[in-house]
């Protein structure tokens, strides 16, 4: 599941997509209709994907996609039966094609479809404070609470026994059972995904969602961005402190504890039972194993294997850090 909320206007003729990224010679490609654009892992036959970094070589070698946007050098790492679309800038080309499949994925304007919860059927099953607004396509389970001035915008599913604090904004999100979202959170908005350009910065579409699994808690003022071509996921029984920022496509495992003001760049993954001290920073596109402990104020710029304890900038083995900073 990527996003059950954004409408996919596919299938689209491959020739149209290729011309969009300035490939006019389509003779080498069979006339085919492409159903969707997805990441390397989830893409299937008659779908298109992208491969822009050797970090994803393993996933690229196993992709089932019929077409892949990539560079000449990286194209050699793809399966033989995957048609290679060679471009200069993979991410910009991918963004252009994504916008064709999902034309409503690039804006996050305020939701003018919201209504006072008192005017919706949800008022009979949810306990709520003052000035609560509800958008379209919102489902809320049993025994839920919503605080004052909160806005549950369009495309949100909330499970049973959940509480949403005051002044929260939630959109494009699935929240499982027994989850607490504290005051002032913003969840499910588009991420900070754009490409710098000397003339005009190019905004990347976000067609993913946020998924928060059972028995988790998100602290006051935290922000969790929805995914771009995959989902942002918070695992079961994970506790996130105040003012934490989790960018698009991050995958946080189960039973994790993340202290205040930790910041995650996009597309990193954490295993289970990870503990991160306050004000640590996690760079993008990293893999952090299970049972890892990261000291407060650390800067993580490379992968961390299971069962590690690290601290400092750049984050290193905690015993080495302590020895060098006595």
Hey, which residues are catalytic here? 248
CA atoms of 63 and 125, how far apart (whole Å)? 45
Q: How many CA atoms lie within 13 A of 120 on its CB side?
A: 21
How many Å apart are CA 28 and CA 39, to the nearest integer?
Answer: 23
**Which residues does 285 contact at the CB level (< 8 Å), separation at least 6?**
53, 55, 265, 266, 267, 268
- Chain-centroid distance of CA 3 in Å reads 11
- DSSP for 63-77? ---SEEEE-HHHHTT
Assigned token pair, 307: 């069962």
Q: What is the Cα–Cα distance from 293 to 303, expressed in whole angstroms?
A: 13
Distance CA 221, CA 277 (A): 17
- Cα dihedral 59, 62, 64, 68 sign: positive
Retrieve residue 198's tokens: 């000397």
137-157 burial, b if ≥16 CB within 10 A, otherwise e?
A: ebebbeebebbebbbbbbbbb
DSSP states of 97-165:
HHHHH-TTSS-----TT-EEGGGSGGGGTEEE-TT-EE-SSEEE-SSEEE-TT-EE-SSEEE-SS-EE-
């Amino acid at each position: 599941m990527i996003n059950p909320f954004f409408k996919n206007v596919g299938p689209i003729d491959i020739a149209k997509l290729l011309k969009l990224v300035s490939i006019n010679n389509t003779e080498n490609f069979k006339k085919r209709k492409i159903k969707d654009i997805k990441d390397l892992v989830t893409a299937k036959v008659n779908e298109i994907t992208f491969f822009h970094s050797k970090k994803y070589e393993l996933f690229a070698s196993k992709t089932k996609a019929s077409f892949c946007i990539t560079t000449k050098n990286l194209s050699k790492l793809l399966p033989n039966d995957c048609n290679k679309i060679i471009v200069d800038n993979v991410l910009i080309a991918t963004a252009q094609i994504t916008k064709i499949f999902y034309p409503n994925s690039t804006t996050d304007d305020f939701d003018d479809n919201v209504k006072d919860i008192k005017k919706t059927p949800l008022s009979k099953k949810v306990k709520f404070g003052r000035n609560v607004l509800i958008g379209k396509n919102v489902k809320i389970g049993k025994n839920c609470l919503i605080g004052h001035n909160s806005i549950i915008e369009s495309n949100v599913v909330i499970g049973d026994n959940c509480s949403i604090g005051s002044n929260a904004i939630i959109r494009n999100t699935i929240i499982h059972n027994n989850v607490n979202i504290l005051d002032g959170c913003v969840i499910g908005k588009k991420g900070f995904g754009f490409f710098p350009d000397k003339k005009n910065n190019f905004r990347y579409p976000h067609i993913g969602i946020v998924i928060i699994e059972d028995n988790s808690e998100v602290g006051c003022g935290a922000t969790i961005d929805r995914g771009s071509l995959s989902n942002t996921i918070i695992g079961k029984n994970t506790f996130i402190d105040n003012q934490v920022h989790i960018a698009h496509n991050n995958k946080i495992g189960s039973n994790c504890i993340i202290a205040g003001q930790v910041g995650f760049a996009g597309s990193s993954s954490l295993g289970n039972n990870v503990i991160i001290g306050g004000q640590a920073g996690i760079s993008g596109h990293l893999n952090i194993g299970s049972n890892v402990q990261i000291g407060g104020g650390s800067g993580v710029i490379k992968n961390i294997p299971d069962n590690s304890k690290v601290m400092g900038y750049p984050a290193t083995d905690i015993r080495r850090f302590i020895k060098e900073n006595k």
